[in-house]
A = this chain, B = another copy of it.
Amino acid sequence: MPKVKIIDVAREAGVSLGTVSNALNHPDRVRPETRRIIQETIRRLGYTPNQSARLLAGGRNPMFGLVLPCLDHGFCLQIISGAQHEAKRNGYGLLVSNYNTDQTLRERYEDYFMGTQLAGVLVQATEPIDGAEYQTPSTPVVYLDTTGDAPAHFVTADCRAQGRLIAEHAIVRGAHHIAVMGSGLAPHIQLRLEGIREALSAYPDIALEVFDDAPWNDAEAGFQLGAQLARRTEEECPDFVIGLTDVLATGAIAGISAAGCAVPDDVRVAGCDGNILAWTGPISLTTCAPAGYEVGRKGVQLLLEQISARESVGPRHIDVKRRTSGVPQEARMTEPRVEIVRPFLLERESTSKGGAQGGPHGSDAAGVNLGTYL
């Protein structure tokens, strides 16, 4: 596998090695004519710079890494989308890896990304980042969708506010009897439920039923529960159903419809988590804006901040002899920060017949461009 290297290009193009390097890294330092010849030679020879060597020698790597627990959930896809968009906007690329909820794998990818000298790494963790175990990394890192007592950077979605928002919407829509479906101890779920309770605490007249005994929060569970509720007598039937996840809510719409009730006329239904993958039923679903997109976007922004903070601080190469002990001192970093992404309402058909209202972004919610998020 004799790889073409920079010296081959130089020889073939009749210039020196340094000039090729310059043509690649500092085009302005090379005469246009020469540059053209070099480019042509590169193409002809099929030269691909060895990134390892390039990085090792001190080149910068305009690439971020994103480590995710899965790829089959809308939230993750949104994170990718948001991160990617923001990265590209700033001239960075994005590499994604999926650890499939295997913590060992997560560390492997994390280490790989750090070791490969990416400009920064985003990690969607599924467990808290423990301060005791935490090592200040030499590469900017931001943790997504989790918290912890480590002095690290975090971006999370405000799940409690999601619940509050939806509950308030139910109140505005005149709900008298709200059914909430969703089970499990996942913090997201619990926080949303807390938010709902919080919003409802000032309205003792509104009845609240919570169904948290389904084994899974899938569309099937939503369907069953929805159908079951819709078959109740009119008095006992809730007039507003909240799915703690959009998947549940989508299932509920189908179940309610199948049982002969109309959405939103008889029963209004709303989701909570802006899961785009669930937005496919015949009746569009009121929910919160996809938080993942914003989380990914903010994550990259925090990365960028850390990068510029570091650049303005120290030199890249330290004088080895000046190290008193063998162990390098703590890397400096910007003040640890926790960014919280606030949700906004996306009102659609499932809770109102008429047109939709815009969120704080001023967008017509019904017309939100999925492509922007996903």
Contact = CB atoms under 8 A, between A and B. Distances in A.
Nearest to A257: B282
Task: Give the number of times this chain occurs in the complex, counting copies.
Answer: 2
A48 interface: yes
A45 to B, nearest CB: 6
Given A52-B116, A77-B72, A280-B219, A97 B97 contact: no
Interface stretch (A32-40, A198-206, A207-215, A324-332): A324-332
A277 to B, nearest CB: 6
A84 B314 CA distance: 40
Interface residues of A, number: 71
8 contacts: A48-B138, A50-B56, A52-B52, A71-B77, A84-B98, A93-B112, A116-B116, A250-B280
Interface in A103-137: 105, 108-109, 111-112, 114-117, 135-137
A280 B276 CA distance: 12
Contacts of A49: 111, 115
Contact of A84 (B46, B48, B100, B278): B100
A11 B84 CA distance: 41
Interface stretch (A2-10, A233-241, A340-348): A2-10
Interface string A238-260: 00000000000010001001100
